[in-house]
Amino acid sequence: MKKKWGPSPAVGQAPATVTGRQGEVLQILRTHAESDDDDGVRVADVADALDLHPNTAREHLDALVDRGLAVRSRVHDGGRGRPAWTYCAAEPATDHRFAAYRSMAIVLAGHLAQSSADPQSAARALGREWGRELASDVESDARARVVADLSRVGFAPVAQADGSLSLTRCPLLDAARRYPEITCQLHLGLVRGILGDDERAVNPVLLPFARRDSCLLRLPSAHRP
């Protein structure tokens, strides 16, 4: 059975943030994992898809392997010469310590749905308070703060070429699937709380389950490194 669109459950240790191009390569690996073909992705496949030199594609793939986000293996097809490398997206085991928090999130979202006159606004307000508590004290630009803080709580953001962030993991995925109109607004509030005084200038936009492997966070006015 193929996975529903959107991010995967959070894991115990969030993967390191990758560059925009590495994020595109990782997305190719994860999209391939959803297909019926389980032979992995070759360097030439990535090079053709992104119009890269094969050596550049290989460097990006090997960087993902070094970060624990991809797995490399040899393909023995019976032909002459050295067998080719293929790459697959790594799937770390879900950290079961998140289970209690996921249950609490479902109960909270259900309570807001039943008790609040405007549950989405209430969820955003709660998320903003969460973000203020979570926000790093490190002086950096708005986008860098969002990436760092979302990484710490398990969203595993991957930078895209257009400056947006793919949120490839979700620490509250069960609640988000059951109550998306509430849980996803909680997450938008979280981002706003992290931004603090920069919220109005950056104007974050969250697109839940926008891609096969992630939600999409747009930070239109944030500085891009």
Shared domain for 76 and 126, answered yes or no, is no
| Cα–Cα nearest to 64, from 37, 84, 83, 46 | 46
Under 8 Å between Cβ of 167 and 214: yes
User: What token pair was written down for 216?
Assistant: 């999409």
Q: What are 86-99's pLDDT values in tens digits?
A: 998 876 545 555 56
Give the separation between CA 62 and CA 70, rounded to whole angstroms: 8
Q: What are 117-137's pLDDT values in tens digits?
A: 999 999 999 999 999 998 877
Q: Is 80 helix (H, G, I), strand (E, B) or coil?
A: coil
| Cα–Cα nearest to 193, from 140, 139, 123 | 123
Does residue 160 lie in a domain region? yes
Under 8 Å between Cβ of 202 and 195: yes
Does residue 5 lie in a domain region? no
Total number of domains constituting the chain: 2
Shared domain for 58 and 102, answered yes or no, is no
More confident residue, 186 or 172: 186
Give the separation between CA 29 and CA 41, rounded to whole angstroms: 7
Q: For residue 103, what are the contacts with CB-CB under 8 A and spacing of at least 6?
A: 174
pTM above 0.75, yes or no: no
Q: pLDDT-based confidence at 167, cuts 50/70/90? A: very high
Shared domain for 69 and 115, answered yes or no, is no
Shared domain for 24 and 105, answered yes or no, is no
CATH number for position 64: 1.10.10.10
Q: Residues of the chain with pLDDT > 90: what percent? A: 39
Give the separation between CA 149 and CA 152, rounded to whole angstroms: 5
**Domain carrying residue 59:** 17-89
Give the separation between CA 79 and CA 75, rounded to whole angstroms: 10
Shared domain for 122 and 65, answered yes or no, is no
- Count the neighbouring beta carbons within 10 Å of the beta carbon of residue 199: 17
Give the separation between CA 6 and CA 177, rounded to whole angstroms: 9
User: What token pair was written down for 110?
Assistant: 């259900």
Does residue 198 lie in a domain region? yes
Give me the count of residues in the chain: 225
pLDDT score, position 13: 45
pLDDT surpassing 80 at residue 4: no
Element (H, E) at 159: strand 157-159
- Count the neighbouring beta carbons within 10 Å of the beta carbon of residue 162: 9
CATH number for position 178: 3.30.1380
pLDDT score, position 84: 78
